[in-house]
Amino acid sequence: MDLIPNPPDSPPSEGFFASFSSSSSTSSAAAAATSSNPSQSQPQQPQSPSRYESQKRRDWNTFGQYLRNHRPPLALSRCNAAHVLEFLRYMDQFGKTKVHTQMCPFFGHPNPPAPCPCPLKQAWGSLDALIGRLRAAYEENGGRPETNPFGARAVRLYLREVRETQAKARGISYEKKKRKKPPQHGGAGPSDRSPPPPPTAGAGAGAGATSPPFIT
C-alpha cells in the first residue's frame, strides 16, 4: 500500500504579509516621530519666573504682611501715600548702608577709616527700586494707576530727600552721567569741512604781491 505523502505546509496568505508590513511601518513611523520630537512624549516644564518677577512677588508679600500687622489692620484699598512712607521707614531697620550723621567725624567721607556708631539704613537705590516694583505689582493686582499710592508725589519727594541726604552723608554722588550724543552722519557741518590744501612751493615767494600782466 502506497503511502500518501503529507502535503507541504501552505505558505501564509498575502493578507497576513500585508497586515504585518502595514503594522510594522506604522510603529516605525510613530517611533521616528517620537524620536524627532521628544517634546510630545515629555510634558513641558513651566518656565521659571525671572529674578525681577520673583523679587517683585516677595516685595508684594512683605507689604501685604505689613498691612496685616498694622494697628489697626489696614486694607489695601485704604492705603495711601502716608502708609507707603511708614513702610519705607519701617524697612530702614533691615538696611545695611551706613549713613553718617552730621555729628560724626566721618560725615561726608566716602571711605571712613574706622567704624562709627551711625545707624544702618536702606540705601537710596534699594528704596527706589523697591517702590518701582511695588508700583508695578499694585496695578498687576487690580489697582488703578490714578490711585496708585506708590506713585504719589509725596513718595517721590521722600525718595529725592533720601538721595540728597545720603549723598552728603556718605560723600558720594548719585548724579546720572550724561550720555554723549552720537555723531551725526548727515550733512557736513562747519567743523566737518576739510581744510584748504597747503600752498605750493613757489607760491610763498609771491604771497601778497600781484604780478603785472604780460604785454605782448
Q: What is the largest CA-CA distance in the chain?
A: 153
Tell me the three state secondary structure of residue 120.
strand
CA dist., res. 161 & res. 167, Å (int)? 10
What per-residue confidence (pLDDT) applies to 12? 46
What gap in Å lies between CA 99 and CA 90, rounded to an integer?
16
Q: Which of 130, 154, 152 shows the shortest CA–CA distance to 61? A: 130
In which region does residue 12 sit, left (phi positive, over 0), alpha (psi from -120 to 50) or beta (all else)? beta
CA 121/CA 113 separation, integer angstroms: 20
pLDDT of residue 101: 92
d(CA 119, CA 128): 20
- In 100-198, alpha helices (H): 124-140, 153-170
DSSP three-state, residue 39: helix
| DSSP label at residue 122 | -
> Which pLDDT does position 170 carry in this prediction?
87
Local confidence pLDDT in tens for the 216 residues of the chain:
444 444 444 444 444 334 444 554 555 555 555 555 555 555 666 678 899 999 999 999 999 999 999 988 899 989 999 999 999 999 999 999 999 999 999 999 888 889 999 999 999 999 999 999 999 999 999 999 999 999 999 999 999 999 999 999 988 776 655 566 666 655 444 445 555 665 554 444 444 444 444 443
Give tens-digit pLDDT for 172-215: 776 655 566 666 655 444 445 555 665 554 444 444 444 444 44
Q: How far is CA 209 from CA 197, 199, 205, 216, in A?
A: 20, 15, 9, 22
Residues in contact with 49: Cβ distance below 8 Å, sequence separation at least 6, in sequence order? 57
pLDDT reported for residue 80 = 95
Tens digits of residue pLDDT in 144-162? 999 999 999 999 999 999 9
- Does this model's pTM top 0.85? My answer is no
